[in-house]
Structure 1
Amino acid sequence: MMGSRQVAQGALFYEFSLEDHVPQDHLIRAIDRFVDLDGIRQHLAPFYSSTGRPSVDPELMIRMLLIGYCFGIRSERRICEEVHLNLAYRWFCRLDLNTAVPDHSTFSKNRHGRFRDSDLLREVFETVVRRCITEGLVGGRDFATDASLIRADAGKMYSMSQEFWQGGQIDEETAPRAVREYLETLDEAAFGAASEVRPKFVSCSDPASQWTAAMNAPAIFAYSTNYLIDTDNAVIVDVEASRSIRQAEVGATRTMIDRANDRFDLQPERLAADTAYGSAEMLAWLDERQITQHIPVFDKTERADGTFPNTAFSFDPVADEYTCPGGRKLKKYWRDIGKERPAYGPDGFRRYYASKADCGTCELKARCTPNQDIRRISRHRHEAVRDKVRAFAGTDAYLESTRRRKKVEMLFAHLKRILRLGRLRLRGPNGAKDEFLLAATAQNLRKLAKLIPGGPQTA
């Protein structure tokens, strides 16, 4: 028997509870257990006036932003629509059915003002990291670091070559916000001061973004999101935005390690990274902090023609000389030097030379230096640290760190595929920082919700 047609009829009174309509196993309930925003009012108090009309609740705006980044809702206009329609999102934001959702323009006004002036988004991120530490998800011994390209909101059509870019002639008062932020970061290690090499093209809409290309991919304007993670449970301990070049990414890692030590008293025993972080200066910096470097050494001494590389020569630190595979010596000087000279050259290297008589009669000359009269070797001032790091390669601990380092790549894949942060919506260095901080906060919240079981949660 066919049922009767359902006709919606209005009622004078409804008995409705959001609590009853949010499933107990919904991800939003698990995330809500670890969202602690009690301190943001005190944090923002100096940035609000004591008079005037009351503003939109900042905790409400942060909760709505967390929804957007946790569930891959990229548009703030779309976030407002989803919170208006979705009962679970209303429950998370502490909104009843009669409460209006803030307009999307409220987010831009606060983000460019109070939120950035007070560094609120980093405060929220660090609050979640502290909760991860409290729940025992951070071991504090094995860390890993890496960077990933995130496409900027800029295109090739609205750009110019470096030779036509006259940054000194920009009127800062009339320039767009992204251009003013670019001028403010010219002396920062993660941006303008990272390298003296200028990119081939500069975007007119977001000049701080880097014209670059990943392997086997077309060139784009991009920023780099840098992660420092604890490899026990892949918790993001720190995140930093930078230009998409190796020097800036290495500098961002130094900043993150120091900041993790200052904010959370976390000093890793081991750091895993790829070859981009294996420069002599970086390895020596880690050695000073007594951090074991499970990093491939950035080394260009290997030769493609089959001749002996520099590593085939043994060094005697006491005699300060090398011994070649044929048993001959390589020295700094083959005669007495009356005037004392600098230990290293301006480039940080010390040169060692073989004797012309030894090389001329050596049976291995064809395999050592076939195109030169003598063999020369350049030794970096931090070569002893490089030798120590080379000795780590192949050990069980090194191989374990290499395996754990893949968790950083998994986080980047989750960031781009699940959270849909393949391209930035905000421009400028501050826009990149805001998006990277919110995305890392969302990833840590989802990690807590997955690894820490809990009972029913009520709001």
Structure 2
Amino acid sequence: MMGRREDGQGQFFYSFDLDKVVPPDHLVRQIDGLLDLSWVHKELAPYYSHTGRPSIDPVLMIRMLIVGYVFALRSERRLCAEVQVNLAYRWFCKLGIEDRIPDHSVFSPARHERFRESDALRRVFEGVVAMCIATGLVGGEAFSIDASLIKADVDKKKRMPGDQPIAWPKVEEASHAVREYLAALDTARGDEDGSGDAGGSGKGSDRHKPPKEVSLTDPQATWVARPGLDPFFAYDANYLIDNKAGIIIDAVGTRANRTVEIAITQTMVDRVERRFDLRPQRLAGDTVYGAVRLLKWLVDRNIAPHVPVWDKSARTDGTFSRADFVFDQQRNIYICPGGAELTSTGNIDQGHIVYYRASKSDCSQCSLKPKCTTATARKITRDLNEDVRDRVRALADTEAFQQSRRERKKVEMRFAHMKRIFRLDRFRLRGLSGVRDEVLLTATAQNLRRLAKLLCHAPPLAQACLA
């Protein structure tokens, strides 16, 4: 017979165990066993006042943020609404069935102040990386580096040309992103006039061109204009991964700039060695990382750069390229296809580019001149560290280089997952600090899900994953 639920008086007492309603194979159980936040209260205590009303527990906020990024709930308003009704999320956040959910507004000041001052989000990320290392998912021999453009949260119509003066609002009236930008400008001016922490070198300020466009909403975002693409403002998400299982061992959000990508690579490799005592034998990357200064930096540390060399010396007009000239290292000369010698002029441009020039008499009577140059004499350039570039070019023919090239696809997969699964195809937070927070939280979520997947193939309970 058909059953029917009778409406009647509700029960006076309930016996409800939240732990029993969360399925044993739920992802929150798996990642809960992989997360150690026991350090938070002690480390963040100096950043809180000893008087006044108690704040929201920072462990609760961090757990809620992790839930948000693991399950692609990046809006804190929506995150609070989901934790309110989702029992599994409540269980992970250590909230009882009757506990109140923090208001979404508490997350912004926590990020801007205590979390950033204490570098708490990086500490959480590095704790997960340490767990990956302890469980044997990080080999430490081969790394890959890459960056991905992520759109900034701005209206691109609200912009000004970078070479025109901009009337910014007063500091007290400006948004957090604008205040951060103005503070960075003040720091840069201080460095140039000798009052900054860079020692007053004053170098390079005239070399840097002003940005083509500046966003009035998020001025630290970079205007990206590429052939075939509608221009937009963006930041870079930089990932350094270990090739064994694709674990992200460092992650940084930066401005979208090739020079910054190279500099942050050095920062990340150094930081991984300092924090985890890991130095790779080889580093794979695309041509963007083939600048000679990075190649030399890697070679000096006995890291094999499995990177295509950035070389713009090839000519496309049918005339001889630099590769058609033979360099005699002992004599420090180039020999042209016609047998003439090109000697160094002694001039060094930009601190590392040396010029070699043929004599006018040799060029004027050479039958190959039409295929060589239209000038009175042929001139070519050579980097002071060209021998490093030659060593890196030689690596391209090795099996190890081809293996790194295949393994480098893992970092591209991490970016694909970032945008498709974790929905980070556009930043929600503004300013460089906000971008760094989002990149770190996303990388933490990716590592947690990766760790849970590799350790918990048939998970009855989270504790069994660590057995």
Alignment TM-score > 0.5, same fold: yes
Compared CA separation, residues 390 and 251, structure 1 to 2 (3 A)? same
Q: Give the partner amino acid of 2:462.
A: Q
Show the counterpart of 2:145.
Answer: 145
Q: Is the 8 A contact 1:144 1:229 kept in 2?
A: yes
Deviation at 1:4, TM superposition (A): 2.9
Show the counterpart of 2:386.
Answer: 383
1:368 aligns with 2:372: yes
Show the counterpart of 2:178.
Answer: 179
Q: Give the partner amino acid of 1:373.
A: T
**So what's the TM-score if we normalise by structure 1?**
0.91
Tell me how large the CA RMSD over aligned residues is.
2.3
Q: Which moved more, 1:350-359 or 1:10-19?
A: 350-359
Compared CA separation, residues 234 and 79, structure 1 to 2 (3 A)? same
Deviation at 1:272, TM superposition (A): 0.8
Show the counterpart of 1:97.
Answer: 97
Show the counterpart of 1:110.
Answer: 110
State how far apart, in whole Å, the 2-side matches of 1:391 and 1:49 are: 59
Q: Is the 8 A contact 1:66 1:442 kept in 2?
A: yes
SS in 1 for 2:55: coil
Compared CA separation, residues 6 and 250, structure 1 to 2 (3 A)? farther
Show the counterpart of 2:356.
Answer: 352
Question: Which residues of 2 match residues 1-40 of structure 1 at below 5 A?
Answer: 1-4=1-4, 7=7, 10-40=10-40
Show the counterpart of 1:421.
Answer: 424
Deviation at 1:374, TM superposition (A): 2.8
SS in 1 for 2:80: helix
Deviation at 1:129, TM superposition (A): 1.0
Q: Is the 8 A contact 1:296 1:393 kept in 2?
A: yes
State how far apart, in whole Å, the 2-side matches of 1:195 and 1:119 are: 33
Identity %: 51
Show the counterpart of 1:398.
Answer: 401
State how far apart, in whole Å, the 2-side matches of 1:241 and 1:220 are: 17
Q: Is the 8 A contact 2:282 2:305 kept in 1?
A: yes
Show the counterpart of 1:337.
Answer: none
Residues 274-298 of structure 1 show CA distances to partners (whole Å, capped at 9, x for unaligned) of 1111111121122222211111111
Show the counterpart of 1:123.
Answer: 123
Question: Which residues of 2 match residues 46-125 of structure 1 at below 5 A?
Answer: 46-125=46-125
Question: Which residues of 2 match residues 57-456 of structure 1 at below 5 A?
Answer: 57-166=57-166, 171-186=170-185, 196-213=208-225, 216-332=228-344, 344-369=348-373, 371-453=374-456, 455-456=460-461
Compared CA separation, residues 213 and 22, structure 1 to 2 (3 A)? farther
Residues 18-57 of structure 1 show CA distances to partners (whole Å, capped at 9, x for unaligned) of 2221111111111111111000111101011222222211
Compared CA separation, residues 193 and 356, structure 1 to 2 (3 A)? closer
Q: Give the partner amino acid of 2:173.
A: T
Q: Which moved more, 1:300-309 or 1:7-16?
A: 7-16
State how far apart, in whole Å, the 1-side matches of 2:73 and 2:206 are: 33
Q: Is the 8 A contact 1:284 1:382 kept in 2?
A: yes
Residues 353-410 of structure 1 show CA distances to partners (whole Å, capped at 9, x for unaligned) of 22344334444434333x2333222111111111111111132111111111111111
SS in 2 for 1:332: strand
State how far apart, in whole Å, the 2-side matches of 1:457 and 1:435 are: 26
Gaps of 5+ in 2: 192-203
SS in 1 for 2:12: coil
Gaps of 5+ in 1: 334-340
State how far apart, in whole Å, the 1-side matches of 2:240 and 2:266 are: 10
State how far apart, in whole Å, the 2-side matches of 1:443 and 1:315 are: 48
Compared CA separation, residues 110 and 417, structure 1 to 2 (3 A)? same
State how far apart, in whole Å, the 2-side matches of 1:36 and 1:432 are: 24
State how far apart, in whole Å, the 2-side matches of 1:185 and 1:69 are: 29
State how far apart, in whole Å, the 2-side matches of 1:139 and 1:172 are: 48
State how far apart, in whole Å, the 1-side matches of 2:183 and 2:417 are: 32
Deviation at 1:70, TM superposition (A): 0.4
State how far apart, in whole Å, the 1-side matches of 2:316 and 2:258 are: 24
SS in 2 for 1:153: coil
Deviation at 1:111, TM superposition (A): 1.4
State how far apart, in whole Å, the 1-side matches of 2:329 and 2:8 are: 90
State how far apart, in whole Å, the 2-side matches of 1:289 and 1:137 are: 24
Q: How many residues align?
A: 447
Show the counterpart of 1:338.
Answer: none
State how far apart, in whole Å, the 2-side matches of 1:252 and 1:389 are: 21
Deviation at 1:317, TM superposition (A): 1.3
Q: Is the 8 A contact 1:152 1:209 kept in 2?
A: yes
Q: Is the 8 A contact 1:227 1:408 kept in 2?
A: yes
Q: Give the partner amino acid of 2:178.
A: V
Compared CA separation, residues 421 and 252, structure 1 to 2 (3 A)? same
Q: Give the partner amino acid of 2:46.
A: P
**So what's the TM-score if we normalise by structure 2?**
0.90
Deviation at 1:109, TM superposition (A): 2.2
Q: Is the 8 A contact 1:241 1:433 kept in 2?
A: yes
Q: Is the 8 A contact 2:221 2:235 kept in 1?
A: yes
Show the counterpart of 1:336.
Answer: none
Compared CA separation, residues 434 and 346, structure 1 to 2 (3 A)? closer
